[in-house]
Amino acid sequence: MPGGTSTSNPDPADNSPTPERPPSKLRRPSARPPSKADLLRYLRQLTLRDHELLEWLAEHYLLSTAQIATALFPSERSALLRLATLHRIGAVHRFSDVRAGTGQHLYTLGPLGLVVHPHPYSDPAHPDARPTRTSVERAHRIIGSGRLRHLLGTNQLFIDLHAYTRTDPSARLLRWWSEQHATTAYAVAGIHPDGHGIWHAAGRTVGFFLEHDNGTENLRTVLRKLRAYERLTEFGPRYPVLLRVPNHRREAHLLDALAGVPTAMPVATGLHHEHPAGPAWTLTSDPGPRRWLHELPSDHGPDTATNPHRYTDPDDFP
């Protein structure tokens, strides 16, 4: 397993950004919830696409205007029109991300969304924190979290995959689990991936675990995460671990550290700006030409009681 070639000091060549601080200049949501009669009326106005969006916000905390438009709408204008309606009826809360300076809004579950999903994940920084009492309290926790940028970066990979399925009818994102969902499902193995998915394209189905890397951790910490997957391979799937990094220099240092080092899972590196469905991944065990996501080695593991989340068939998969 990796470890012998790592270093305890941050990689000086990465030009890594400083750790995130809570974005204090974000506009807070309105604290005026709609009445119960309004909620019942608004529930009947939700479309299937609205329900899909609210399900995502319940599990993945927040998404930006651009992410929602990319994954679910034919244009950003149509997304903005519908999101304005969802904000008006309390399905979502909307924030202006002033610090990013993009003019984008960020969206979380509103009071109506909380009626549809009464038990969402409530705190990205403290999964064991007490449940929030209101959607406003939950929104404040999310927006105040130092992990906000990490969440958006993690979610972007899955948003891009989902958008790709709209251009390729044969492609399907069969599973999109958040960190908390994947950590709970594979608690016995003790892994903490930033996300977990199962991707189907070109007749192949590949599971994967995502480690979204912003360049803020030293190489030793990154490599230590890989060792945690060794336990899972004893009874569960052997899915590739995707190390998605911000720049070529960071990727080169990871590939050097992992050269010739056996890992329990296949490990592949990729860059934030490259489309995850395409030829964006370099296998650390075979660093030749970059591979498409569906070309990465993947083993769903034994069909036994110790592997309850085993993938079976695309048509039967929830």
Whether residue 131 lies inside any domain: the answer is: yes
| Distance set, CA 157 to CA 92, 162, 225, 230, 270 (Å) | 22, 9, 20, 24, 11
Name the helix (H) or strand (E) containing 76: helix 76-88
Question: What pTM was computed for the model?
Answer: 0.86
Last residue of a domain, one of 124, 146, 168: 146
The letter for the amino acid at 62 is L
Q: Which of 131, 146, 161 is the last residue of a domain?
A: 146
In-domain check, residue 44: yes
Do residue 142 and residue 110 come from a single domain?
Answer: yes
DSSP E strand boundaries for 133-194: 172-178
CA 218, chain centre distance (Å): 21
Q: What is the CATH number of the domain that holds 46?
A: 1.10.10
Q: Based on the fold, state whether residues 136 and 165 are members of the same structural domain.
A: no
Range of the domain at 58: 36-146
With respect to residue 203, please indicate whether it lies within any of the assigned structural domains: yes
Angle between helices 48-60 and 76-88 (to 10 degrees): 80
Dist. CA 149–CA 155, nearest whole Å: 10
Residues 156 and 281 in one domain: yes
Provide the pLDDT for residue 37: 81
Do 135 and 157 belong together in one domain?
A: no
The reply to whether 110 and 168 lie within a common domain is no
| 175-188 pLDDT, tens digit each | 999 999 999 999 99
Instruction: Say yes or no: 140 and 161 in one domain.
Output: no
The predicted pLDDT at position 264 comes to 87
Question: Which amino acid is residue 161, in one-letter code?
Answer: L
Cβ-based neighbours of 268, under 8 Å, separated by 6 or more: 240, 241, 242, 243, 281, 282, 283, 284, 291, 296
Rounded Cα–Cα distance for residues 147 and 195 (Å):
14
Query: Are 66 and 102 part of one and the same domain?
Result: yes
Give me the pLDDT at residue 313, please.
66
Query: What was the pLDDT predicted at 175?
Result: 97
Instruction: Identify residue 255 by its one-letter amino acid code.
Output: L
The answer on 117 and 130 residing in a single domain is yes
Q: Is 275 helix (H, G, I), strand (E, B) or coil?
A: coil
Q: Angle at CA 216, nearest 5°, toward 230 and 243?
A: 40
> Are 53 and 169 contained in the same domain?
no
Residues 286 and 225 in one domain: yes
Looking at the fold, whether 159 and 140 belong to one and the same domain comes out as no
- Counted domains in the chain: 2
d(CA 244, CA 269): 6
Whether residue 10 is contained in a domain is answered as no
The two three-digit tokens of residue 176, written as one number: 């999109």
Any idea how long the chain is?
318
The residue out of 109, 131, 146 marking a domain boundary is 146
The percent of residues in the chain predicted with pLDDT above 70, rounded, is: 86
- pLDDT at residue 174, as a whole number: 96
Write down the pLDDT at residue 305: 86
CA distance 163 to 113: 23
Cross-strand pairs, 198: 175, 207
Q: Is residue 217 part of a domain?
A: yes
Low-confidence ranges of the chain (pLDDT < 50): 1-31, 316-318
For 138, residues 6+ apart whose C-beta sits below 8 A from its C-beta are: 108, 109, 114, 120, 122, 132
Place of tokens 């550290």: 257
In a domain, 3, yes or no: no
Whether 300 maps to a domain, the answer reads: no
Residues 181, 255, single domain; the answer is: yes
Task: Evaluate whether residue 95 is within a structural domain.
Answer: yes
CB 189 within 8 A of CB 236: yes
